[in-house]
Amino acid sequence: MGRRQDRQDRRTERRGGVVPIRYRMREKLLTIGDDSIIEDGDGNKAFYVDGKALRVRQTLIFRDMQGNELCKIQERMLRVKDTMEIEGPAGERLAMVKKALITPLRDRWVVKIGDGPDMSIQGNILDHEYTISAGNTRVAEVSRKWFRIRDTYGVEIQPGQNDILILAVTVAIDMMR
């Protein structure tokens, strides 16, 4: 990562010693039918996203590198506004991602979590510069600033969060924008 990463790690250590986890994703991660890999901040393969072709609605399946299904992202049809549902491997609803109806200056999205506090997403979605918050707590940041590769952005997740769910939310937003 270089000097920038070293400086950020030192700042984080001064703030309590806990370093957030960073993942690297590709813009427009995939089109339906394509597959993609999500890498950790060190460039190691972390997750596999399987795009399902020939389906009536958009469907993506998140898998670990051993091929185990972790969650499924599906488009919800017949809704007033764009909606994507994230389901667990057993079919239980983990989250529903929706674009807020009123967005005066910045993009705003709402994530309804099945068994936890709802999340809000604010920022510039098109440029991949936004934050994901639960209440007043920032749980993740999405930004291009960590990577110099074209069409690549990073997702930095605070410790103690559900990485799979936050990455799935990020992919859902990327698909809906």
> How does DSSP assign 64-101, residue by residue?
ETT--EEEEEEEPPS-SS-EEEEE-TTS-EEEEEEE-S
Rounded distance between C-alpha atoms, residue 65 and residue 60, angstroms: 15
Number of domains in the chain: 1
State mean pLDDT over 63-87.
Answer: 86
Q: How far apart are the C-alpha atoms of 21 and 154, rounded to whole Å?
A: 10
The answer to whether residue 45 sits within a structural domain is: no
Whether residue 111 lies inside any domain: the answer is: yes
**Window from 18-27, 102-111, 156-165 with minimum mean pLDDT:** 102-111
Question: What DSSP character marks residue 53?
Answer: P
Residue 59 belongs to some domain of the structure: no
In a domain, 4, yes or no: no
Of 37, 27, 95, 30, give the one whose Cα is nearest residue 63: 37
Dihedral, CA of residue 125, residue 128, residue 129 and residue 133, to nearest 10:
70
More confident residue, 9 or 66: 66
Residue 140 lies in a domain: yes
Tokens at 151, concatenated: 């069409």
Mean pLDDT, the chain, whole residue set: 82
6-15 confidence digits (pLDDT tens): 666 665 555 5
Distance, CA of 113 to CA of 110 (rounded, Å): 9
Question: Is residue 56 predicted with pLDDT exceeding 60?
Answer: no
Per-residue pLDDT band at 57 (split at 50, 70, 90): low
Reported as a single tens digit per residue, the pLDDT across 115-169 is 888 999 999 888 888 999 998 999 999 998 877 677 788 999 999 999 999 999 9
- The answer to whether residue 141 is domain-embedded is yes
Provide CB contacts within 8 A for 146, sequence distance 6+. Answer: 1, 4, 5, 22, 24, 41, 154, 156
Name every residue whose Cβ is closer than 8 Å to that of residue 53 and which is 6 or more positions away in sequence: 32, 33
130 inside domain: yes
Element (H, E) at 170: helix 163-176
How many residues are given for the chain?
A: 177
Q: Look at residue 39 and tell me if it is in a domain.
A: no
Domain that holds residue 133: 69-176
Structure tokens at 150: 């074209």
